[in-house]
Amino acid sequence: MSSPQPSESKTPRKYQLFIDGKWVDAESGKTFETPNPATGETLAEVAEADKADVDKAVVAARKAYEGKWGKMSARDRGRLLYKLSQLIEEHSQELAELETADNGKPIRESQYVDLPQVVENFEYFAGWATKIEGETIPVPGQMFNYTLREPLGVCGQIIPWNFPLLMAAWKLAPALAAGNTVVLKPAEQTPVGIMELGKLFQEAGFPDGVVNFLPGYGETAGAALAAHPGIDKIAFTGSTEVGKLIARAASDNLTKVSLELGGKAPNIIFADADIEQAVNGAMMGIYFNQGQVCCAGSRLFVAAEIKDQFLERLTEKSKNVKVGNPMDSGTHMGPQVSAEQLDRIKGYVDIARGEGATVLTGGEPPQLDEEFQKGYFFQPTIFGEVKNQMRVAQEEIFGPVVSAITFENEDDLLKQANETIYGLSAGIWTKDITRAHRFAKAIHAGTVWINTYNMFNAASPFGGFKQSGYGREMGRHALAMYTEVKSVWIDLSGKPIGWFGK
């Protein structure tokens, strides 16, 4: 593995598919290009998987499940996962640079957030491999009842482009700790880090076929994987729209499904909040990863009493956010991931204006040096005078664009905060401890942050209420999504069953 060099822009990297422990071309021979979103230049040329490759990978994953991997002890599985976590840590600088080159996120985020959390997840679930246990149940009579917690088998996993390696880690680590095998499709925008991860799986010594990585498009490779009769589960992170397609595709085979989907999180600033802390929290909520975060605090509810003061300070600080070369350690925001995403954001600025919102700052791409003029950059943007029923407050924009909404009192606030099809996360900024807990309970969301935002840990569950998805990733809850429970009954009486006569 090597870091991307400036001269590399002229010679794109090349990747094949990773199936059954081997690097192979797609059956069709097709490839696709993935650009560096900061410059628009081609970063890599990647084999393009389709249905035939999905079929091959599912067969390989089944063979591994029924063979070496299925027979391996939990301890050895855990040791392999731990070894992988160490290899990732050793290579984390190169991986962070590649992640930034492929996705556009600032290097300080890849380096200090994404990669450390990838390592943490593999390390955490390595420890779980030997701790997945059943129970004994106190049933009446001369009976003994116990449960076994078994792997599901072959898991399909489809991940998005916003945190490529981290989303892979959230899915791979619990699936493998529980003893499953995996066919994973990275997003077409960001396959590079995942293909490098394939090399580390090989180096760690995982048996062939335990993980198979198939870069390709959603409508082809992704759809083929979700509908495949040979998989036992499909796990997906991405848009709610595609999540519905996945659930439909899986329903023909009643394949088990877990979904981590969109959000439109309320980030609530009460009048008693520490203003400076809350302004920083609002910025963390919306500008982190250029706002391409499913739990982004994109609906900023501000108490009427402090609205002017708060928005003034937020606007002033937003103007100082450094947007530019993501490889520069001083950069706060890099480019959006793709031209499509940039267009989508610009479209929402027009929609906001049309709906009567005001643009307090931003609203357009920044002026940057020549080298970055083909990049997909956008300025930190605040919409003022937003009403909760406007499209910009109801639809996921997935950019550094926040809608500020004023509230008068707690009842008015709670009603609006929960008036959304989503329920992934929420933020609350207040010094009043009872109010903080009251709201944490009343908000319909899978994660609530109080006087903080975007906190994650491999041990803490993450997932959505309502149309934000099914299931929880990370923590012990993730293992429940990758295991089946089997109940076993044993008659201890030794007597024949007399129910239908002697």
Torsion over CA of 76, 471, 103 and 14, rounded to 10 degrees? Answer: 50
Nearest CB to ligand ADP, comparing residues 231 and 242? 242
Q: How far is the CB of 50 from ligand ADP (least distance, A)?
A: 12
Structure tokens that stand for 18 in this block: 């990773």
Q: How far is the CB of 384 from ligand ADP (least distance, A)?
A: 27
Alpha-carbon distances of 103 from 43, 241, 377, 470, rounded to whole Å: 10, 22, 12, 26
Cβ neighbours of residue 367 closer than 8 Å, sequence gap 6 or more = none
Alpha-carbon distances of 196 from 3, 176, 186, 202, 267, rounded to whole Å: 11, 18, 12, 10, 36
Q: How far is the CB of 121 from ligand ADP (least distance, A)?
A: 19
Nearest CB to ligand ADP, comparing residues 124 and 377? 377
Torsion over CA of 49, 54, 57 and 59, rounded to 10 degrees? Answer: -160
Residue nearest to ligand ADP (CB): 218
Q: How far is the CB of 477 from ligand ADP (least distance, A)?
A: 22
Nearest CB to ligand ADP, comparing residues 351 and 450? 351
Q: Is 155 a catalytic residue?
A: no
Nearest CB to ligand ADP, comparing residues 234 and 278? 234
Instruction: Count the neighbouring beta carbons within 10 Å of the beta carbon of residue 142.
Output: 11
Helical H runs in 356-457? Answer: 391-394, 410-417, 433-442
Cβ neighbours of residue 231 closer than 8 Å, sequence gap 6 or more = 58, 153, 154, 155, 156, 183, 225, 255
Q: Is 260 a catalytic residue?
A: yes
Q: How far is the CB of 316 from ligand ADP (least distance, A)?
A: 31
Burial grade of 455 (CB within 10 A; 0-12, 13-18, 19 or more): exposed
Q: How far is the CB of 494 from ligand ADP (least distance, A)?
A: 54
Q: Given 97, 188, 196, 294, which residue is catalytic?
A: 294
* Pairing outcome for strands 381-384 and 401-407: parallel
Alpha-carbon distances of 450 from 189, 411, 423, 437, 454, rounded to whole Å: 33, 19, 16, 9, 10
Q: Given 260, 295, 396, 473, which residue is catalytic?
A: 260
Residues in contact with ligand ADP by CB under 6 A are 158-160, 185, 187-188, 217-219, 222-223, 226, 238-239, 242, 245-246
Q: How far is the CB of 160 from ligand ADP (least distance, A)?
A: 4
* Pairing outcome for strands 483-491 and 266-269: unpaired
In this structure, what DSSP letter does residue 114 have? I
HSE-CB of 432 using CA atoms within 13 angstroms: 10
Nearest CB to ligand ADP, comparing residues 193 and 324? 193
Crossing angle between the packed helical segments 275-287 and 307-319, to the nearest 10 degrees: 50
Nearest CB to ligand ADP, comparing residues 152 and 187? 187
Nearest CB to ligand ADP, comparing residues 30 and 68? 30
Catalytic residues, by residue number, are 260, 294
